[in-house]
Structure 1
Amino acid sequence: MAKLKFDRVINITLTNEESAYVPRDEVWKGTLVIEKGSEINGLIILPDNTSNLCLQGSITLGGGCSIRRFSSGKISFTGVAFKVIS
């Protein structure tokens, strides 16, 4: 059974055409704020009709996950990285 070991604090802000990738041997836990024009693992995030903000909340991102910003606005992630120990 794999275990998680605290590695570091993460604070990322992505703007136009920027990407971030969770390394395969890590898990990231934290708060993610996404505006329209973003994608997580190829899934495009679309806004509701009231604002540009689409998602805000606690999230766990597994190893190999990608986050990409492809239009104006930003994505913010604040949290911690854990190393996966076999």
Structure 2
Amino acid sequence: MALRYESVRDPERRANIALLDCAAFAEAAPRDSQSWWIFIRPHSLQAWCEAPRIRIELPLTHFAADPRIAAWLASPRGS
């Protein structure tokens, strides 16, 4: 699985791609495309796919092993 998104650091807002699965390298060209919206809420991460319509919500504690998320969860903003 891969996500294509607009860069927030690039002044020209060119595309970035986040590869979320090694299977993304299985073929030379993409088979299909999906648009996803990622939202970080106070206590969860939400991912919404436009087509097919999919909604996923994960508690931020699922990502607590990531030191950046752990620090945020320990801060006053994350509590």
Q: Could you say which TM-score interval applies, normalised by the shorter chain? A: under 0.3
TM-score, reference length from structure 2: 0.21
The structure richer in strand per residue is 1
Higher-RCO chain (CA-CA 8 Å, sequence separation at least 6): 1
TM-score, reference length from structure 1: 0.20
The structure richer in helix per residue is 2
